[in-house]
Structure 1
Amino acid sequence: MGNSPKLRFAIDTGGTFTDIVVLDEDTGAFYLEKSPSTPENTLIGILNVIEKAKLDLPSVESFFVHGSTTAMNCLLERKGARTAYVTTRGFRDVPEIARYDRPELYNIKYKRTPPPVPRDLAFEVTERLDYKGDVLTGLDEDDVKKIAAILKKKDIEAVAVCFLHAFKNPAHEKKTKEILLEECPGISVSISSDIVKEHREYERSITTILDAYLKSTIQAWIRNLESELASRKFAGRLIITKSDGGGMTGDLAVENPIHTLLSGPSGGVTGGLFLANHLEHKNLVTLDMGGTSCDICVIKDGLATVKREARIDEWRLLLSTMNISTIGAGGGSIAWLDRAGALQVGPQSAGASPGPMCYPDGGAKPTVTDAALSIGYIDPDNFLGGDIPLNLARARAGIEAQIATPLAMDLPTAARGVLRLAVSNMAEAIRATTIHDGEDVRDFELLCYGGAGPLLAAYLLDDLEMQSAIVPIAPANFSAWGMLTIDIRHNFSQTIAESLDGLDLGDIEAKFAALIKQGEETLAAEGVAAKDRTILRTLDMRYADQEHTVDVAVDFAIAIEEGGSDKIYEAFTTRYKQVWGYALEGQSATIVNLRVVAMGKVPKPKLKTLESGTGEPDEALKGNRTAFSLLDGRAEDHRVYERARLRAADVVKGPAIVEEPTSVTIIPEGFRSEVDPVGNLIIKKFAS
């Protein structure tokens, strides 16, 4: 790679592969590699891919951005710390009671997912604040000390503290944390007032509990990574991607591990946002189809929706996250027959180990990758640039024995059925996501990435009747590339729940000022220069007596100068109409939460422009290969092109296959792909 001091790099640890992208900040040139993930110890996979990329860590003086599923895996596998819960007397059952809704309303045998802390580890303390944060009953410190003694006997590793109305006054929580740390050396303590200063008692308690539950795992992950980097004389900064698409330092990730819960999928969406705002593709549906799952997100007018609540299993969290939907459809998704004999694909995955049947030490069940290999879409000698030779005969035997023979069909038809079902599952997930957002999917372009995304991009385009499909440069490593475009981002909020009628805007401005100060101090501590800081302010508002809110962007200086509350009400009415299609004009409105987003701008990668071609891709032609169409089932002779040799404005007409070391793009008959100035493939259907 050379010893350029202007390097930065990103690593995305997925369920199947660990990806690295190394970027030259001056030229925009980048280098990428891919290595199998190591679920038993993700650090091994990270070090393996760094070594494979021959990256000279001492030469990297910029930063290393890392996204991982470590937190999510810890939670799903229930491998977090032994955690206790401390709350206001009378409220220990809030996590047990949860919310009234349930996913299987008519299932009389349904059992709710239990809270992450069992009831015998939930403790109560005598203390009480009113809804304004005023003290009704002082904190009984002896109660806290008695609980501390029990915690030591029970070998508790982490404690979550969530008192009623602590978002208004954190004094009791802070004192409780102080006592617990004194009485139980080595224990970790999470308090709700440090994590989320908002109402909704159940969500606040679950968010705090999960933060405590994850803390030791995330601390070990970050500190071990930092130690390995230091031993290799890495001189730059470590940035961890957050659930909301921003980044934070390793120290803050250790302090607030809950924000890493959806760290992994956000990188690709951030990359999609970058492309949306630099290449005039403003309306995108991003589709990240990797080895294990498929992540979907909608970008409208160059913006992705950030949700204020998240759901993990059946738990609700007060956590800002990208609005990403996930289904079990990846290259490693297993094809199987249910008890009725119907073909199914996923959600189970062969993962990195044992992997698809065609892998050298592959599993015993056929996958999407085996199906694609069986009908000619993948070159068995060029998978991962030849690093993993694929066994075509074993893949075909698996499809034949487990799918084709039981369904009384030939092998190509069975393999096509596996891929068509994967396309159908993803198309339905995309429709559900866009319809939920009130959008028509036909008004969007499809951005397909991940190792398996380009394989089925054209077929998804056909199924959904979308405008075009975009396959970005380095699609298999696009999530890692997208991480190089993130900004430092922190969210701060405060519940006030005050009517807009007669509201003291000066008081609101003072509360905003306090949140902004927190944001400025956090960015300063992370080394973000004042000139690179941006502060965004929004309000969560609703009509009186409603439960849920809409977010409203308001310039307070203008609002105070041009009409005060009336200006805010006008902005609320406009936003409410955008979300719901109507407004209850004239009805009283309430400001529920104040929100501040503190952002530290990070220099963005330069997009390297390709040499212009003539429109004819003959120089990139590698040869021909027979493959079966998913549209009509015919075996067709496909021209095979090497993507690295395609030039800007080159047009590839189907049937064709565009190969690169880590991915394959299929261009069916009736479709064409044009290379844009920076190397993206733009796939469109021929006008009939």
Structure 2
Amino acid sequence: MTLQTYFNKSNKLWQFWIDRGGTFTDIVAKRPDGQILIHKLLSENPEQYQDAPVQGIREVMGIPDNVPIPADKIEVVKMGTTVATNALLERKGDRTVLVITKGFGDALRIGYQNRPDIFAREIILPEMLYEQVIEVEERYNAQGEELIPVNKQQVQKDLETAYETGIRSCAIVLMHGYRYTGHEQEIVNIAKIIGFEQISVSHKVSPLMKLVSRGDTTVVDAYLSPILSRYVDQVSAQLSGNIETYLTKNISKIQTKDKNKTAFYEIINKAKSPKLMFMHSNGGLADANLFHGKDSILSGPAGGIVGAVKTSEIAGLQKIIGFDMGGTSTSRTKP
């Protein structure tokens, strides 16, 4: 039996489906015996618990607060969350610096000049997500010919200045960078050396034509990804709380000379962290490590749409309107 085969072995374990909203967190759980349980609690209650989904799992499984969650008893946790949605609406993302080709520093502010109300006398522009702008001397033409090389010394100086102000998130968007990635990658390398914790680069985040839309997506990713990363790490750590202790207690068995390695596989399987998945804005699920800011804005509402469609199919309905009213935001959908 290989290690992969052992990991893929089907077991009767707990399964959790969680919707973490801004006000309430709803949990649907499937016990090992197949029974379905439903649980609800406040999303924010810092006097009682650190995180609502984890606390909900504890309450459903009957685990005291001072006891680690038994990772070997849970198969999967699938979650939709409005953590990023609310951070965007309330402008509580991480401080971000935008790095863009010289001469285009206000391109994202100007945008496409779309006017929902063409007769409005007062145009209220949305607040930009980035705090500072660094314009870089560089340029490729549309055919990929390097017209101006990156001024690395100036870029390093400007990024260091931004870093010294406390900014740790960086969005890099250059003209034609979606196709000719060399200059963007040079700036990525400089930002890494300086110590930026989040570096979102357009040719990876949104490798598409059109500077404004590509830039907006990259900035959103830089602005929200740190918050999501911290949240995912927090949940993962609590779900895996007993792994280190378990391995420490059984280290002698792991080092066994047993020829068939049965003890080794059993210990590794029991120490394995539950599979943690998050819903993307497109309604699909992805591993927690692949959950980034640009994919998370509609994570919570997307779950409602998927559920509404499935429910309507069961009821034999073809035309529906979905209405999802939460504590922070309300979404109306027409699947």
TM-score under structure 2 length normalisation: 0.78
Q: Determine the structure 2 residue equivalent to 1:465.
A: none
Secondary structure of the structure 2 residue equivalent to 1:180:
helix
Deviation at 1:37, TM superposition (A): 2.0
CA 1:90 to 1:289, structure 2 compared with 1: closer, same or farther past 3 Å? closer
Q: Determine the structure 1 residue equivalent to 2:183.
A: 172
Deviation at 1:294, TM superposition (A): 4.2
Distance 1:107 1:35 in 2: 43
Q: Determine the structure 2 residue equivalent to 1:75.
A: 88
Match of 2:202 among 189, 192, 197: 192
Match of 1:144 among 144, 155, 170: 155
Q: Determine the structure 2 residue equivalent to 1:64.
A: 77
Q: Determine the structure 2 residue equivalent to 1:554.
A: none
Give the letter aligned to residue 21 of structure 1: V
Deviation at 1:282, TM superposition (A): 3.9
Distance 2:171 2:321 in 1: 38
Task: List per-residue Cα deviations over 1:586-642 (Å, max 9, x = no partner).
Answer: xxxxxxxxxxxxxxxxxxxxxxxxxxxxxxxxxxxxxxxxxxxxxxxxxxxxxxxxx
Q: Determine the structure 2 residue equivalent to 1:268.
A: 304
Distance 2:56 2:31 in 1: 18
Secondary structure of the structure 1 residue equivalent to 2:61:
coil
Deviation at 1:290, TM superposition (A): 4.7
Give the letter aligned to residue 11 of structure 1: I
1:505-520 to 2 correspondence within 5 Å? none
What is the number of equivalent residue pairs in this alignment?
Answer: 290
1:350-429 to 2 correspondence within 5 Å? none
Matched, 1:135 2:146: yes
Distance 2:136 2:176 in 1: 14
CA 1:222 to 1:166, structure 2 compared with 1: closer, same or farther past 3 Å? same
Distance 1:169 1:222 in 2: 32
Deviation at 1:242, TM superposition (A): 0.7
- Does the CA contact (< 8 Å) of 2:22 and 2:86 recur in 1? no
Distance 2:308 2:333 in 1: 10
Deviation at 1:140, TM superposition (A): 2.5
CA 1:220 to 1:293, structure 2 compared with 1: closer, same or farther past 3 Å? closer
Match of 2:213 among 195, 203, 212: 203
Give the letter aligned to residue 52 of structure 2: G
- Does the CA contact (< 8 Å) of 1:88 and 1:125 recur in 2? yes
Task: List per-residue Cα deviations over 1:420-477 (Å, max 9, x = no partner).
Answer: xxxxxxxxxxxxxxxxxxxxxxxxxxxxxxxxxxxxxxxxxxxxxxxxxxxxxxxxxx
Deviation at 1:153, TM superposition (A): 2.7
CA 1:268 to 1:55, structure 2 compared with 1: closer, same or farther past 3 Å? farther
Distance 1:191 1:39 in 2: 36
Secondary structure of the structure 1 residue equivalent to 2:52:
helix
Q: Determine the structure 1 residue equivalent to 2:108.
A: 95
CA 1:209 to 1:39, structure 2 compared with 1: closer, same or farther past 3 Å? farther
Q: Determine the structure 1 residue equivalent to 2:26.
A: 19
Q: Which has the higher contact order (CA 8 A, sep 6+)?
A: 2
Distance 1:197 1:186 in 2: 22
Distance 1:200 1:221 in 2: 32
Matched, 1:10 2:17: yes
* Alignment RMSD: 2.6
CA 1:43 to 1:273, structure 2 compared with 1: closer, same or farther past 3 Å? farther
- Does the CA contact (< 8 Å) of 1:43 and 1:225 recur in 2? no
Give the letter aligned to residue 209 of structure 1: V
Match of 1:35 among 41, 57, 67: 41
1:140-539 to 2 correspondence within 5 Å? 140-182=151-193, 184-231=194-241, 235-253=273-291, 256-276=292-312, 280-290=316-326, 293-299=329-335
- Does the CA contact (< 8 Å) of 1:177 and 1:191 recur in 2? yes
CA 1:15 to 1:61, structure 2 compared with 1: closer, same or farther past 3 Å? closer
CA 1:294 to 1:147, structure 2 compared with 1: closer, same or farther past 3 Å? closer
Distance 2:196 2:113 in 1: 37
- Does the CA contact (< 8 Å) of 1:7 and 1:59 recur in 2? no
CA 1:70 to 1:43, structure 2 compared with 1: closer, same or farther past 3 Å? farther
CA 1:58 to 1:187, structure 2 compared with 1: closer, same or farther past 3 Å? closer
| More helix, by proportion | 2
Distance 2:297 2:237 in 1: 22
CA 1:89 to 1:243, structure 2 compared with 1: closer, same or farther past 3 Å? same
- Does the CA contact (< 8 Å) of 2:16 and 2:27 recur in 1? yes
Larger Rg: 1
1:553-572 to 2 correspondence within 5 Å? none
Give the letter aligned to residue 144 of structure 1: V
Deviation at 1:198, TM superposition (A): 1.0
Deviation at 1:296, TM superposition (A): 2.7
Distance 1:25 1:133 in 2: 57
Distance 1:37 1:189 in 2: 29
Deviation at 1:44, TM superposition (A): 2.6
Distance 2:303 2:31 in 1: 19
| More strand, by proportion | 1
Give the letter aligned to residue 237 of structure 1: K
CA 1:226 to 1:265, structure 2 compared with 1: closer, same or farther past 3 Å? same
Secondary structure of the structure 1 residue equivalent to 2:289:
helix
Secondary structure of the structure 2 residue equivalent to 1:32:
strand
CA 1:263 to 1:60, structure 2 compared with 1: closer, same or farther past 3 Å? farther
Task: List per-residue Cα deviations over 1:496-538 (Å, max 9, x = no partner).
Answer: xxxxxxxxxxxxxxxxxxxxxxxxxxxxxxxxxxxxxxxxxxx
Give the letter aligned to residue 161 of structure 2: I
CA 1:262 to 1:153, structure 2 compared with 1: closer, same or farther past 3 Å? same
Q: Determine the structure 2 residue equivalent to 1:394.
A: none
Secondary structure of the structure 2 residue equivalent to 1:169:
coil
Deviation at 1:43, TM superposition (A): 4.6
Give the letter aligned to residue 226 of structure 2: S
- Does the CA contact (< 8 Å) of 1:134 and 1:169 recur in 2? no
Gaps of 5+ in 1: 300-688
Q: Determine the structure 2 residue equivalent to 1:123.
A: 134
Give the letter aligned to residue 243 of structure 1: S
Match of 1:110 among 123, 128, 131: 123
Secondary structure of the structure 1 residue equivalent to 2:103:
coil
Secondary structure of the structure 2 residue equivalent to 1:46:
helix
Distance 2:154 2:229 in 1: 29
TM-score under structure 1 length normalisation: 0.39
- Does the CA contact (< 8 Å) of 1:160 and 1:209 recur in 2? yes
Give the letter aligned to residue 221 of structure 1: Y
Match of 1:45 among 49, 52, 64: 52
Distance 2:186 2:328 in 1: 44
Deviation at 1:91, TM superposition (A): 0.9
Deviation at 1:279, TM superposition (A): 5.8
Gaps of 5+ in 2: 1-10, 64-69, 244-271
Deviation at 1:123, TM superposition (A): 0.9
Distance 2:223 2:171 in 1: 8
- Does the CA contact (< 8 Å) of 1:104 and 1:110 recur in 2? no
CA 1:17 to 1:122, structure 2 compared with 1: closer, same or farther past 3 Å? same
Secondary structure of the structure 1 residue equivalent to 2:200:
strand
Distance 1:148 1:290 in 2: 39
